Structure 1
Amino acid sequence: MIDLLVVGGGPAGLATAIHGARRGLDVMVAEPRPAPVDKACGEGLMPSAVRALDALDVRVPGRPLRGIRYVDAEGGRRAEAAFRTGPGLGARRTVLHETLTARALALGVRVEPHRVRRVTQTEAYVTADGLTARYLAAADGLHSPTRHALGLTVRPAATRRRPPRYGLRRHYAVEPWTDLVEVHWSADCEAYVTPIGPRQVGVAVLTSNRLPFDEQLTRFPALAARLRTADGTPVRGAGPLRQQARTRTAGRVLFVGDAAGYVDALTGEGLTLALTAADALVRCLREGRPHAYEQAWCRLSRNYRLLTRSLLWLRNQPATAPLITPAAARFPGLFQGAVNLLA
């Protein structure tokens, strides 16, 4: 019997598989799509994510990132915060996926082209469409079919429902003009610019408006002017971004990555949490305490959830949204502290 079946072969699932294999577990990954899989992603790794990859002996090619810059799209105000604990990394999602896949295969992890639709479990094992394992790690993404099938997705109350937010990403063939991740703020959306390679930047727009990418970009005149003559790739999208799970553990099924719940991409911490939670999940299994993973996940995600929800609340208030970048410029110590709390 397999020790650990990982459903989903993205970064969260592969990191879980690598941690499992390194700790002596027999691990299989069920992923119907061939690697590498591309998806909408900001593609900026915080320093903590880089350290988590180093701990896996995974070295991802990319561009070092020195910190974060906020840019007011209308007033031109700017604020910068440098990372204090080492550089972050700008890297293509496909390159990250290829590197993690190669590391997992080198450790003997089996990656099977298998789509899981139904999960059942007993006190001793889990069965997923013919595959049987002692435990199952669900890393099947933002709209996790496993989470839905087990009835663990929380629907927002109608009285509190805000317009859902979506992410759109496009790459541009242009020389990066900075070694920072730039976050451009307009009245109702943000654009994240991440250097990811020679003559290539990624631009991710977070918004509640269901409009084409080029129309979204007009809200950032200075950025649009820089990119006007650059060749762009097809647009990829994801959302709604906010997903809430009732719990991270359900018997012998544990959730990791976006499948475990997601607040927003506003602070760029999704991959960091996925990588660190993968380590915690496997550690809890090896210690024979799968139930302890819920508390571990809550502890690891506390800063991300607190800062992201706070910033998202400020963004959604008409009175405070225009003040975010000016406040960051006015109080650089506070901005630096918040960035490095996540970094």
Structure 2
Amino acid sequence: MSIGFDAQVIVVGGGPAGASTAWHLARAGVDVLVLDRARFPRDKTCAECLSPESARLLDAMGALDALSAVGAKLRGMVVRAPSGDEIRGGFVAAHGWRAPRDWGLAVSRRVLDATLVARARAVGARVREGARVADVVRDAAGRVCGVRVLDASGATTELRARIVVGADGLRSVIVRRLGLARVRAWPRRLALVAHWRGVDGITDHGEMHVERDGFVGIADIGDGVTNTSMVVPAREAQRISGDPASYLASWIRGRAHLAPRFAAAERVDTVRVTGPFASASRRGWAPGAALVGDAADFFDPFTGEGVFAALRGGEILAPFVAESCALPAARADRALAGYETARRRAFGGKWAVERIIGAVVDVPPLMNRAAHTLSRRRDLADLLVGVAGDFVPPSAVLNARYVWRVFVK
């Protein structure tokens, strides 16, 4: 612990982004304290799918074997358009790119998050559960130097640190207190997530079913449980709020290709609702603070890669934070500014792909046109699934030739 500080770095949020950041910092010898309002294990509204490229990060953290033993291995993706055409892409293909493993992983967030927090603890990170962060603390110059924490009685405690990392998700307190919140006008969507047993026809491919009024993702997460994540326009909020379970059940019953598969299935937990999505920070840092994971950027859940971005974001951020801890304030903030450049370099191409996919999904004729081509061109489908799986570079599809072959030729 640094003199005058409760930790060199305080990480707010113990999900994949916070745990990854803490693990990398602790491994580098940084004194790090993780604060989370929950107590682990805990449920989290999420599609619970991790891309093949996530295996490298999980393996480095010593978590891959344990998680792959309880989760389900996914070999690819199937996407069904409103027209009924199906795009099928595999994580092993002839395009020449290979991930660290030939499969993605679908695993309960109760298991994933608790495992990653345990791995951060194992390398020296301190973790305080049940700690609700209400605000940041600033010094006389306005630089962040800590956080205010509320205990169960409502009493406030100030904890000081050289750097505060906001890893507290979609509605980040840290982002709001830093004045960096930015809400995009599009797309405004809500997600409803539940788990079922007995869904018929589940395979080793994740599924996305796109309809004119939303889409639903389906994936085995192990132990006979299927994650069902439905995304609909935010204008449906009033109808959902009365009875989310009935809304989800009715939506599924109204799809002839889905209803029979759920007819004998049993929902095993509460239907959780989250959103609206399309929130972001104006940048990934402020004097004395940095943002990672969904707190830094969240666009749309269609590609389902928030967990990979969280894990990779922590890996990218940690060296900049470690450097900042060893420097005077002015130079420390220049180091944090370098993180913004690195973050955009790492994720910029994928962000572009996500936005293009989001636009296509929003326009049924475009979605149908893309599916018509990709259902017949497995080579093109494999490229797109590889990009979504984070092991094929976005440039493989962000070019005129690929777009021409999908939409025009």
TM-score, normalised with respect to structure 1:
0.93
Give 1:165's aligned residue.
189
Please tell me whether the aligned partners of residues 184 and 220 of structure 1 are also in contact (alpha carbons under 8 angstroms).
Answer: no
In the alignment, does 2:282 pair up with 1:246?
yes
Q: 1:330 and 1:118 mapped to 2: Cα distance?
A: 53
Residue by residue over 1:286-318, the C-alpha shift from the partner in whole angstroms, topping out at 9 and shown as x without a partner, is 234222110111122123211110011112224
Q: 1:199 and 1:15 mapped to 2: Cα distance?
A: 28
Give 2:231's aligned residue.
206
CA RMSD of aligned residues (A): 1.8
Give 1:127's aligned residue.
146
Please tell me whether the aligned partners of residues 193 and 201 of structure 1 are also in contact (alpha carbons under 8 angstroms).
Answer: yes
Q: 1:38 and 1:20 mapped to 2: Cα distance?
A: 26
Q: 1:51 and 1:342 mapped to 2: Cα distance?
A: 16
Of the structure 1 ranges 98-107 and 274-283, higher mean CA displacement relative to structure 2 is found in 98-107
SS in structure 2 of the partner of residue 117 of structure 1: strand
Q: 1:318 and 1:64 mapped to 2: Cα distance?
A: 30
Please tell me whether the aligned partners of residues 134 and 173 of structure 2 are also in contact (alpha carbons under 8 angstroms).
Answer: yes
Change (3 A) 1:316 1:342: closer
Give 1:78's aligned residue.
86
Give 2:375's aligned residue.
329
Please tell me whether the aligned partners of residues 277 and 297 of structure 1 are also in contact (alpha carbons under 8 angstroms).
Answer: yes
Q: 1:45 and 1:162 mapped to 2: Cα distance?
A: 25
Candidates 341, 344, 350, aligned match of 1:295: 341
Give 2:178's aligned residue.
150
Q: 1:220 and 1:55 mapped to 2: Cα distance?
A: 42
Displacement of 1:171 in angstroms is 0.7
In the alignment, does 2:55 pair up with 1:64?
no
Give 1:192's aligned residue.
217
Give 2:169's aligned residue.
141
In the alignment, does 2:116 pair up with 1:100?
yes
Displacement of 1:37 in angstroms is 2.2
Q: Which runs of 5+ in 1 are unaligned?
A: none
Which protein shows a greater Rg?
2
Candidates 307, 311, 319, aligned match of 1:271: 307
Q: 1:107 and 1:163 mapped to 2: Cα distance?
A: 40
Task: Work out the number of aligned pairs and report it.
Answer: 338
Please tell me whether the aligned partners of residues 273 and 300 of structure 1 are also in contact (alpha carbons under 8 angstroms).
Answer: no
SS in structure 2 of the partner of residue 222 of structure 1: coil
Please tell me whether the aligned partners of residues 185 and 325 of structure 1 are also in contact (alpha carbons under 8 angstroms).
Answer: no
SS in structure 2 of the partner of residue 287 of structure 1: helix
The residue type equivalent to 2:54 in the other structure is A
Q: 1:109 and 1:163 mapped to 2: Cα distance?
A: 37
The residue type equivalent to 2:303 in the other structure is T
Please tell me whether the aligned partners of residues 154 and 244 of structure 1 are also in contact (alpha carbons under 8 angstroms).
Answer: yes
Give 1:220's aligned residue.
255
Percent of residue pairs identical: 31
Displacement of 1:219 in angstroms is 4.4
SS in structure 2 of the partner of residue 116 of structure 1: strand
Change (3 A) 1:285 1:258: same
Q: 2:210 and 2:361 mapped to 1: Cα distance?
A: 10
Q: Which runs of 5+ in 2 are unaligned?
A: 93-98, 149-157, 241-246, 325-334, 390-409
Q: 1:318 and 1:96 mapped to 2: Cα distance?
A: 35
Please tell me whether the aligned partners of residues 192 and 274 of structure 2 are also in contact (alpha carbons under 8 angstroms).
Answer: yes
